[in-house]
């Protein structure tokens, strides 16, 4: 008998769930990441648009339009996480989101298909990577997302599949631009209304059980703050220029802390390398990060 877990069936299996959203969902998400531009916060704006990182919440919500449990029904139905022996807990390690074509800024229904793409040894555990594609009823792709989860303590497996995890070092010069945004003490309370109802982000008792002095901010909220900073300073808040974003989460953020997004323009301004630092502590909380922008349209 093999001493390793057989992941053959895990790699063959995919899960498809229905996902949908309303204009109200788009507005609430934008507010949850600190957005104030009317293009993303006012439904009657002439150029009202979906904020590019909004799709990151759809695996949490599915078609739910009310408060959901955690994990939600959509999370349970769409999960492709393999069971690895020794796993103590899971950390959200890396994220990638690519806009294949812009989502409509109207209430819409799609389907999301997820599959396991890689399981690799990393430190004292495993980096488990999955990919989700959001498509319409005709199979036309709109969004591609990849998630890298770190399973602490996982063992008894062989490296399998493909890894999309890459190093993104910051340039050895001062940032070209720094955005400073102070999160609200209630930031996690607001962001959770977009679908991630993990009690770690609101319940002091749950936070203490996980070793935190108080509830922490959602990593994906920090992700949204960073994307907002890049789009604002490097693309004139033009959502049509956004192609993709990748990040690695390094440390947690507390609601009320100030986020400094430090940006370096590369490749004639179409590749923005960035990191996020908590001003009060100097800690880097997001690294290995970049946004790829489409070139500005010629006038």
| 87 Cα distance to chain centroid | 23
pTM for this predicted structure = 0.96
Vertex 155: Cα angle to 153 and 158 (nearest 5): 140
**Each residue's pLDDT tens digit, 167-211:** 999 999 999 999 999 999 999 999 999 999 999 999 999 999 989
Catalytic residue among 125, 148, 195, 201: 201
Q: Is 245 a catalytic residue?
A: no
Mean confidence (pLDDT) of the chain: 96
Q: Which of 116, 83, 111, 110 is nearest to 14 (CA)?
A: 116
Report in angstroms the alpha-carbon separations of 229 from 14, 140, 157, 263, 274.
34, 30, 39, 9, 10
**pLDDT of 1 over the 50 cut:** no
- 196 an active-site residue? yes
201 is catalytic: yes
Q: Running DSSP on this structure, what letter comes out for residue 177? A: E
Q: Environment class of residue 41 by beta-carbon count within 10 Å: exposed (0-12), middle (13-18) or buried (19+)?
A: middle
Q: Which of 34, 196, 224, 233 is catalytic?
A: 196
Active-site residue, from 32, 219, 224, 272: 219
Please report, for residues 128, 215, 228, the alpha-carbon distance to residue 256 in angstroms, rounded to integers and kept in the order given. Answer: 31, 11, 18
How many Å apart are CA 199 and CA 114, to the nearest integer? 25
What's the CA gap between 216 and 255, in Å, rounded? 6
Q: Does the active-site annotation cover 219?
A: yes
Q: Which of 216, 224, 245, 272 is catalytic?
A: 216
């Amino acid at each position: 008998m093999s001493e390793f877990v057989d992941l053959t069936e895990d790699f063959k299996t995919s899960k498809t769930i229905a996902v949908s959203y309303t204009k109200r969902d788009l507005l609430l998400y934008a507010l949850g990441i600190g957005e104030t531009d009317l293009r993303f916060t006012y439904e009657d704006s002439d150029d009202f648009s979906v904020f590019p990182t909004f799709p990151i919440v759809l695996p949490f919500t599915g078609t739910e339009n009310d408060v959901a449990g955690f994990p939600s029904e959509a999370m349970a139905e769409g999960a492709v996480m393999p069971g690895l022996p020794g796993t103590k807990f899971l950390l959200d390690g890396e994220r990638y989101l690519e806009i294949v074509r812009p989502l409509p800024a109207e209430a819409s229904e799609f389907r999301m298909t997820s599959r396991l793409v890689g399981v690799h040894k990393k430190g004292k555990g495993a980096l488990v990577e999955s990919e989700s594609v959001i498509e319409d009823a005709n199979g036309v792709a709109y969004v591609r997302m990849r998630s890298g989860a770190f399973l602490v303590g996982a063992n008894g497996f062989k490296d399998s599949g493909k890894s999309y995890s890459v190093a993104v070092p910051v340039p050895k010069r001062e940032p070209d631009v720094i955005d400073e945004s102070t999160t609200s003490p209630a930031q996690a309370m607001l962001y959770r209304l977009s679908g991630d109802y993990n009690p770690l982000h609101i319940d002091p008792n749950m936070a203490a059980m996980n070793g935190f002095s108080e509830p922490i901010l959602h990593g994906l909220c920090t992700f949204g703050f960073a994307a907002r900073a890049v789009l604002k300073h490097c693309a004139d808040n033009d959502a049509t220029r956004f192609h993709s974003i990748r990040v690695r989460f390094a440390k947690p953020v507390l609601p009320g802390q100030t986020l400094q997004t430090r940006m370096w323009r590369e490749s004639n301004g179409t590749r923005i390398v960035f990191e996020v630092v908590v001003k009060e502590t100097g800690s880097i909380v997001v690294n290995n990060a970049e946004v790829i922008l489409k070139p500005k349209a010629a006038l």
